[in-house]
Chains A and B, each alone.
Chain A
Amino acid sequence: GAVVSQHPSWVICKSGTSVKIECRSLDFQATTMFWYRQFPKQSLMLMATSNEGSKATYEQGVEKDKFLINHASLTLSTLTVTSAHPEDSSFYICSAPGTSGVAAQYFGPGTRLLVL
Chain B
Amino acid sequence: GENVEQHPSTLSVQEGDSAVIKCTYSDSASNYFPWYKQELGKRPQLIIDIRSNVGEKKDQRIAVTLNKTAKHFSLHITETQPEDSAVYFCAASIGSGGSYIPTFGRGTSLIVHP
Contacts and interface: CB of A to CB of B under 8 A. Distances in A.
Interface of A: 32, 34, 41-46, 49, 91, 93, 97-105, 107-110, 112
Q: Most chain-A Cβ atoms within 10 A of its Cβ — which of B41, B42, B43, B49? A: B43
A34 B101 contact: yes
A16 B37 CA distance: 35
B105 A43 contact: yes
Interface residues of B, number: 26
B44 interface: yes
B98 A97 contact: yes
B44 A103 contact: no
Q: Tell me what chain A mostly uses at the interface: helix, strand, loop, or mixed.
A: loop
Contacts of A42: 106-107
Given A103-B32, A105-B46, A108-B43, A43 B97 contact: no
B93 A103 contact: yes
Interface in B29-52: 32, 34, 36, 41-46, 49, 51
Given A102-B98, A107-B43, 8 more contacts: A43-B89, A49-B101, A101-B97, A103-B34, A103-B93, A103-B98, A104-B46, A108-B43
B69 interface: no
Listed from nearest, the 8 A-B pairs whose CB atoms lie closest are: A107-B43, A103-B100, A103-B32, A43-B106, A104-B46, A44-B104, A109-B43, A43-B104
Nearest to A4: B43
B55 interface: no
Contacts of B51: 103
Contacts of A107: 36, 43-45
Interface of B: 32, 34, 36, 41-46, 49, 51, 89, 93, 95, 97-107, 109
B42 A100 contact: no
Nearest to A112: B41
Nearest to B87: A41
Given A43-B89, A43-B106, A97 B44 contact: no
Contacts of A43: 89, 104-107
A30 to B, nearest CB: 9
